[in-house]
Amino acid sequence: MTTTLRPGMTSASVRVLQQRLKAVGTFDYPKATGFYGNYTREAVSQFERRNHLKVDGIADPAMQALLAKKAAATKAPAKPTTWQTAAEPAHDYRRVNFRGVTVNVRTQQMLLRAEKYAKAMGVKVPFGLAQGSYNPGGVTQSGGTHDRGGALDIRTRDHSPRGVVLMVKALRQAGFAAWSRDARDGFSPHIHAVAIGDRQLSAAAANQVQSYFAGRNGLRNNAPDRDRATAGRPIPNWARRYD
Ligand SMILES: [Zn+2]
């Protein structure tokens, strides 16, 4: 129960009152002293006037409640995390069976992030996974990139060409070196993604990450990154240190 605060009092509650009056801009004494003197009385009066309360310079419970609400509203809302400012996912290398493939928890978290970004762009989620990590010799065409951690192949057959572009974009925003692959590269259509910074990447996958940073396609021909023109190459801040 809030008690009425009035001139002459000294208390911690008066100090809080002064801090809140400061927040709403009516208390200009340099310090919240905890003493309810003339400055405080004047600041309370000004607040009361501004808010059409009875102007008496006394902080009754109703006045204090309104002040608390208004003072809280002046605080800047916390800046929402964006794909750029998102923290690096934890280096959690426990293996999980996820949508029919094996990945580590870090890769899984990154994929879920990418799906969140993709969904916001209107892309159908969840993505279907065609190949995961820790799959040595599983798919010859993959050239060993899926032998260890951080690698994923994502199905694209249920998506429009525009949808595939946005999937690549979202995967890149989440910190994957990701490319759309198709017949031009000798593959059936899919997206190949490698988690940047994964400590269990195979040597081949690690090379692909460097190729990605260099604006190339991560394939043997080391051709230019074809997706760059459509999806851009958005790299979250945390991933840049692996360049
Ligand atoms: Zn792949």
Q: d(Cα 240, Cα 181) in Å, to the nearest integer?
A: 24
- Please count the other Cβ atoms lying within 10 Å of the Cβ belonging to residue 33: 14
Which CATH number is associated with domain 95-242? 3.30.1380
- Ligand 1 center from residue 193 Cα (angstroms): 6
12-74 CATH pick, 1.10.101.10, 3.30.930.10, 1.10.1060.10, 3.40.630.30: 1.10.101.10
| Residue 1 pLDDT | 67
- Ligand 1 center from residue 141 Cα (angstroms): 8
| Residue 139 pLDDT | 74
| Residue 11 pLDDT | 96
Contact 131, 147 (CB under 8 A): no
Strands (E), 70-220: 95-98, 101-104, 129-131, 151-155, 176-181, 190-195
Output 138-141 pairs: Cβ under 8 A, ≥24 positions apart: 141/186, 141/187
- Ligand 1 center from residue 142 Cα (angstroms): 5
Q: What is the phi/psi pair of residue 60, to 5°? A: -80, 170
- Ligand 1 center from residue 127 Cα (angstroms): 15
- DSSP string for 26-90: ---SSS--SB--HHHHHHHHHHHHHTT---SS-B-HHHHHHHHHHHHHHSPPPPPP-TTTPPPPP
Per-domain boundaries in the chain: 12-74, 95-242
Q: d(Cα 68, Cα 58) in Å, to the nearest integer?
A: 15
- Ligand 1 center from residue 149 Cα (angstroms): 12
Q: Given a cut of 70, is residue 185 above it in pLDDT?
A: yes
To which residue do tokens 């396609």 refer? 217
Q: Nearest to residue 190, comparing CAs of 151, 228, 224, 222?
A: 151
What average pLDDT does range 13-20 have in this prediction?
A: 96
Tens digits of per-residue pLDDT, 51-67?
A: 999 999 999 999 999 99
Q: Given a cut of 80, is residue 76 above it in pLDDT?
A: no
**Omega of the bond leading into 189 within 30 degrees of 0 (cis):** no
Tens digits of per-residue pLDDT, 106-147?
A: 999 999 999 999 999 999 999 999 999 999 877 777 789 999
